Amino acid sequence: MAHPLLAILAYFSVGVLLLIVCLACFEWVTKYNCWEEIRKGNLAVALATGGKIFGMCNIFRFSIEAQDSIYESLLWAAIGFLLLLIGYFMFEFLTPVLRVDEEIGKDNRAVGFIAFVLSAALSYIIGGAVTYG
């Protein structure tokens, strides 16, 4: 984009839209209603959701830094989101001693915190791969 202000507005707008779409996808795959649980004060859900928001925004940041056009950034961010989603499913699968979604839904703050950290940490790995790609 020729003017930096237009580029900022474009990336911001696309980033917010992408965040809303990705959060809707996460809402669809979890066993609890994120926003209803947050409204009720479920800190575990707030932590897990906050980690997802941070993770998605961080991946989008890396994709902006790595690419020339907004379309390429959007493509890499979408791929990054899919990898973050896979990481979420792997977390559930690799912890057979507990059901992550159920524990978060029951306000198990320890599990919510681990979900937050996992989303944040994976976003850096995914972001590094996006930058490399």
User: Phi and psi at residue 116, in whole multiples of 5°?
Assistant: -60, -50
pLDDT of amino acid 30: 87
Is the separation of the CB atoms in 112 and 44 below 8 Å?
A: yes
The residue ranges of every structural domain in the chain are 4-132
pTM over 0.85: yes
pLDDT of amino acid 114: 95
Ranges of residues in the chain with a pLDDT under 50 are none
Please state, in angstroms and rounded to a whole number, the distance separating the CA atoms of residues 54 and 40: 22
Predicted confidence (pLDDT) per residue in 65-96, tens digit: 887 788 888 888 889 999 999 998 898 888 88
pLDDT of amino acid 121: 97
Is the separation of the CB atoms in 51 and 117 below 8 Å?
A: yes
Residues 6+ apart with CB under 8 A from 131: 62, 65, 66
The distance from CA 95 to its chain's CA centroid, rounded to whole angstroms, is: 20
pLDDT of amino acid 106: 95
